Amino acid sequence: MHISLVGVLGERMAARLRVRLYSALIHQDMAFFDISKSSELVARVATDVQEFKHTFKQCVTQGLRAMTEVTGSVLHLLHLSPSLTLALGISMPALYLIGTFYGAYLRRLSRHAKEVESTSMGTAGEGLGNVRTVKAYAAEDREVELFQAAAERAAKTNTKLAFHIGLFRGVTSTSIGSMILIVLYYGGAQVAMGHMEPGELMSYLMATQAAQRSLASLGVLVGQYIKAKAAAQRVFEFIHRTPLIPTRGGQTLPSLRGEIEFSKVAFAYPARADQVVLNNFNLAVPAGTVVALCGSSGSGKTTVVSLLERFYDPRFGKVLLDGVNIRDLDPTWLREQIGYIAQQPALFSSSIRENIRYGRPDATDEEVEEAAKLANAHEFISHFPSGYETVVGERGTALSGGQRQRIAIAAAILKNPRVLILDEATSALDNQSERLVQEALDRLMKGRTVLVIAHRLTTIQNADLIVLMGKPQGKILEMGTHAQLMARRGAYYKLHHVGADI
């Protein structure tokens, strides 16, 4: 019965711990994910919590029993011979010192082993997560070699840990075994002097052996506890980590026009703090207008929209929405007002209906289908045998690029944002798919403030304002309508006609 109860308690504790850890991870800021591997984070949610749960159950079932037995044995030894028990107690400080210092070393070694093992799982996760790229480069054997090297490092570290845990147990058992020698020596002297009967000494020896077995069980548990503590430290390290940008907290606006302004913004990604991406960047986007950001790769276009969504905070300057610094706005509310459609939208491995409904979880089936129609997606969805219940596969790999784009547009239509970000949304499509996607985008863009990121200038000629960004990173080279920029015959003109490097 007690095993069943402990099992239920352990599983419930592990479930709550996993939820707390996942919640802490999913609420972290983007800077955290820039320096973390998703596969390593998944390993913490899975294996670290599992090891902590396993040791917890062992400590409750075996640890409490062993401690009870040790306590009972000590009391029995005191009853049989207080003086002999005192002699045994003199050796305890040496055992305590050994356990303290060696235990501290084992905890450091166990934490290092966990980190190395997590790195090896991260290597496997990257390879499997990018399997299309791996196969495209025929790099399967190379990935196996990388994982083998990482696995061997993990095995070497864990072997060292296992050796030292075994050595720790051996030292502990030897120290505990020395108790018998103390009993024989001191007890024999007591018998020789007539202070103790031989039968009493035998009873004392039997009680000492019982205590020895219980202490040996505790020694095994200590080794497990050390490994579990390292796992728990890795778990609670993230549970107690405070994100630089919280997901909630701040004011909301009763109504939103969609006016955007970047004022003297300076920014560098936290993972590359020495590389300034934007410096004294200024841009005003009137409400309801379409503003296109174009320029060479690395000029800061994507950074601009990342700051608008408050994935990061600028070092200096302000990003304003309807004249309010977005630092003062509730981040969740802010992101609910912004729709984002990427060049390669990553869908979730669920049904088409659930992917569209991700834009607004409380939407009805009729609203989902209406959004799909507006996104030019209803026709191809209807041709699938399962229709809207078709599972799209991991990251939407079961669909074509144009189909994924139209599902992402349907989700944005359902979300009904006031500000829309299009990150090169049609650059990877064929002509037919691009036409269908562009029609859907045109419907979506009406009446909203739109920021368009594009390399192909032919897609942004109708924008209300074109902002050409270039080197040094984040610098605005030219700004105006297509006609104005072409008339100036500057960098935009050269890029449009000659394809000059900007």
Alpha carbon of residue 25 to chain centroid = 5
Q: CB-side exposure of 126: number of CA atoms within 13 Å?
A: 16
For residues 142 and 282, the model is more confident at 282
For residues 331 and 52, the model is more confident at 331
Identify the H or E element spanning 488: helix 482-488
Q: Is 490 left (phi over 0), alpha (psi -120 to 50) or beta?
A: beta
Looking at residue 136, its pLDDT comes to 58
Residue closest to 448 by CA, chosen among 252, 286, 333: 286
β-pair type (465-470, 475-480): antiparallel
pLDDT tens digits for range 243-279: 888 888 889 999 999 999 999 999 999 888 888 889 8
Looking at residue 399, its pLDDT comes to 85
> Percent of the chain having pLDDT more than 90?
15
**Does position 324 have pLDDT exceeding 50, yes or no?**
yes
CA dist., res. 206 & res. 200, Å (int): 10
What three-state secondary structure class fits 419?
Answer: strand
Looking at residue 307, its pLDDT comes to 93
Mean pLDDT of the chain: 80
Domain with CATH 1.20.1560.10 in the chain: 2-239
**Does position 348 have pLDDT exceeding 80, yes or no?**
yes
Mean pLDDT of 20-35: 87
* CATH fold group of domain 260-497: Rossmann fold (3.40.50)
pLDDT tens digits for range 271-282: 888 888 898 899
User: Do 369 and 410 form a contact (C-beta atoms < 8 A)?
Assistant: no
**Does position 502 have pLDDT exceeding 50, yes or no?**
no
Most confident of 57-71, 84-98, 284-298: 284-298
The runs of H, that is alpha helices, within 267-397 are: 301-308, 331-336, 352-357, 365-374, 378-383
**Does position 177 have pLDDT exceeding 70, yes or no?**
no
**Counting beta carbons within 10 angstroms of the beta carbon of residue 272, is it exposed (0 to 12), middle (13 to 18) or buried (19 or more)?**
exposed
| Cα-based distances in Å from 195 to 76, 79, 107, 191, 477 | 18, 15, 46, 6, 101
Mean pLDDT of 465-494: 86
DSSP state of 391: B
Q: Which residues, at least 6 apart from 341, have a Cβ–Cβ distance to it below 8 Å? A: 405, 408, 409, 412, 420, 421, 422, 423, 425, 441
User: Do 408 and 440 form a contact (C-beta atoms < 8 A)?
Assistant: no
Domain with CATH 3.40.50.300 in the chain: 260-497
Q: Which of 54-68, 121-135, 328-342 has the lowest mean pLDDT?
A: 121-135
User: Do 215 and 73 form a contact (C-beta atoms < 8 A)?
Assistant: no
**Does position 501 have pLDDT exceeding 50, yes or no?**
no
Q: Which of 23-27, 87-91, 235-239, 289-293 has the lowest mean pLDDT?
A: 87-91
Most confident of 212-226, 426-440, 466-480: 466-480
Q: Which of 17-26, 115-124, 282-291 has the lowest mean pLDDT?
A: 115-124
Looking at residue 89, its pLDDT comes to 66
Question: Is the whole-model pTM more than 0.75?
Answer: no
Q: Which CATH superfamily is domain 2-239 in?
A: ABC transporter type 1, transmembrane domain (1.20.1560.10)
CA dist., res. 431 & res. 402, Å (int): 10
**Counting beta carbons within 10 angstroms of the beta carbon of residue 169, is it exposed (0 to 12), middle (13 to 18) or buried (19 or more)?**
middle
